[in-house]
Structure 1
Amino acid sequence: MRLVSFNVQNMRLRGSRLDGARDRDLPEDLGPAAPLLDDYDRRLTARVLAEANADIIALQEVFDQKTLDHFHDAFLLPTGTAPYPFRTCLPGNDGRGLDVALLSRIAPRSVTSHAALTPADLALRTPAGVNPRAPLFRRDCLEIAFDGLTLFICHFKAPYPDVAATWPIRNLEARAVRCLIEARFETPASANWLVLGDLNRPRAEDPDALQPLTEGFGIDLLNRLPRGSRWSYHNAHEGYTARPDALIASPALAASNPETVPRLIRSGLGHEATAYKGDRLPTVGTHRPHASDHAALVLDLDIS
């Protein structure tokens, strides 16, 4: 089974056109010329996913189901890749409507949104200023059960504008995902589960909020890559790289796949991401066109 996790950077359908991979917070992503590159961006997004050719794709920053279906039909299928008949994008809590989504060639047994979950529902202690009866996840935790594997697709609180101020929120989200896993499985360590998505871990020098999922609980599979090659994101504002994207496996899943090492597809990143020395896809520019400001994470698993 091959899985992919990919933050596709602000994918939204407006009429019959998709927004490009841009956050509209840089001068080059504003103004009348910027929309001319949107179509190029989304064709590159599709090319990355076609190259991965995964059985299951977890996406972040998709606006809604119509956006997901349009991207699948108008951009992904024309690459020649096999279709994904099982597609899900449920409303989450992001104020801009950017949700997590699923594309799958394998029929899921169940799909459960946890967007309405509150800290009070899980009896979780909340940071100062956080309402215990307000929605817990900043987007969602989409729980998807397949035969032999359960996925938890997440997109945690971004570390902006202040890493330290947002740390408690990401930590709360991590604690909540752990609670969901512990509630689902009598013995989580021996079950097959995977937490994947954009968990917004900031730079290496910043405090990590993901300890509830990684310390004595799950296995961060990106740690199987050499140091210096684990980065999956390029920040165009300040020019640094980071590893916000994650693949956290249960101990049982990691142990049954001891040789499995994630692969990152960075060929859709702009040339401004100079840490990547490999080939780019045709039409990739310095900043744009690009597939996203994130790389796609690819993972091959033996599920028995």
Structure 2
Amino acid sequence: MRVATFNMQNLRLRAGRLDGARDADGAPDGSALRHDDADRRLGARLIAEAAPDVIALQEVFDRAALDFFHDRLLAPLSELRYPHRVCLPGNDGRGQDIALMSCRPLAEVKGHAALTPRDLNLEAPRGMNPSHPVFRRDCLTARAGALTLFVCHFKAPWPRARKAWAVRRLEARAVRRLVERRFDDPASALWLVLGDLNDPMDGPEPAIAPLLPPFSVDLLARLPPDERWSWHDSDTGTYGRPDALLASPALAGRFPAARPRLHRAGLGHEAQRHHGHRFAATGWHRPHASDHALVAVDFPGL
């Protein structure tokens, strides 16, 4: 089984067309719209090239956008079909929801957007109402065969970094609690936390520390440090690794050779750290598939 995660950067369907991989509508002259169709075709090509059996997606506005993307853009390019598709409403006011596409049937699909700190017996950080939802988007869980997935998109580290850190820490604790409630012995079960955890990983202590070793095995840590980056910010030139594949000790132990592959062919040329294959249609900033790479890992025979 090949499992992947990809932040699609605002996949939204409006008036019969998809918005591009952009964070805002851009200039009033409509110039931001120029590359929208090319962006989404690059995203479809990226997924088709990676050919995952199951892919977790972030920043998908709704099921209609997901279906339109799959049927109109991805299906004509890929030998694989993803008949099992999920996109549940989350807590993001802009509609940036979490989605799953799978070649295999998905079981026990469940969203957790409504969970509060009280529901999970967790202490809310200072200034947060314990009756408000824990997750800024959701934690979408599903089982694909023997593997249970916990798909996440945590709070970004802005505009107030310290407050955002506390929110991400709570989200990480909540996901850990969900794993612990799901399995009597989490270390011996087969599960994977994946998605955009939005953690810079460069502070004195990562906000997502409750999910990190020894609770899990960070599969990206199996790559050399300079190969782990999965995101580039065009405004600041920053590179980061917000995208994560955190495997249970049992899953990582069963597949000791499983090393993630980062598919960066859809990144714009401004991401100059990438010296490998890049789609010919990519521009300096746009067109691009996203500001994130697609991250995939193989679990043969699972």
Fold match by TM threshold 0.5: yes
Three-state SS of the structure 2 residue aligned to 1:122 is coil
Tell me the residue number matched to 1:21. Answer: 21
C-alpha displacement of 1:147: 2.2
TM-score with structure 1 setting the length: 0.96
- Cα distance in 2 for partners of 1:240, 1:218 equals 27
Query: Which position in structure 1 is the counterpart of 2:103?
Result: 105
Q: Distance in 1 between matches of 2:177 and 2:287?
A: 40
Matched, 1:7 2:7: yes
Aligned partners of 1:172, 1:78: CA distance in 2, in Å?
41
What's the CA shift string for 1:113-172, capped at 9, x where partnerless? 001111000110111111111111000000001221100000000001132221010000
Pick one of 206, 209, 212 that aligns with 1:211.
209
2:166 paired with 1:143 = no
Question: Offset at 1:30?
Answer: 6.2
The residue correspondences of 1:187-198 to structure 2 (distance < 5 A) are 187-198=185-196
Identity %: 56
Partner of 1:65: 63
Supply the AA of the counterpart residue of 1:287: H
Aligned match of 1:295: 293
Structure 1 gap segments, 5+ residues each? none
Aligned to 2:197: 199
The residue type equivalent to 2:98 in the other structure is V
**2: CA distance, partners of 1:208 / 1:64:** 31
Residue 80 of structure 1, CA deviation = 3.4
Aligned length: 302
2:51 and 2:78 in contact (8 A); partners too: no
- Alpha-carbon RMSD across the aligned residues, in angstroms, is 1.3
Q: Which ranges in structure 2 are unaligned for 5 or more consecutive residues? A: none
TM (normalized to structure 2)? 0.97
Q: 3-state SS of the aligned residue for 1:145? A: strand
| 1:161 matched residue in structure 2 | 159
Which amino acid in 1 is paired with 2:277?
A: D
Kindly provide the amino acid, as one letter, of the partner of residue 235 in structure 1.
Answer: D
The 1:133/1:19 distance shift into structure 2, 3 A limit, reads same
1:240 aligned residue (215, 231, 238): 238
Closer/same/farther in 2, CA of residues 30 and 254 from structure 1, 3 Å limit: farther
**How far does the alpha carbon of each residue in 1:11-54 deviate from its partner, in whole angstroms, 9 at most, with x for none?**
100021000000128x6x66422101100000000000000111
Q: How far did 1:228 drift?
A: 1.0
In the alignment, the residues of structure 1 paired with residue 163 and residue 176 of structure 2 have an alpha-carbon distance, to the nearest angstrom, of 22
> Aligned to 1:82, what secondary structure does the other structure show?
coil
Structure 2 SS opposite 1:67: helix
Structure 1 Cα separation of the partners of residues 23 and 227 of structure 2: 25
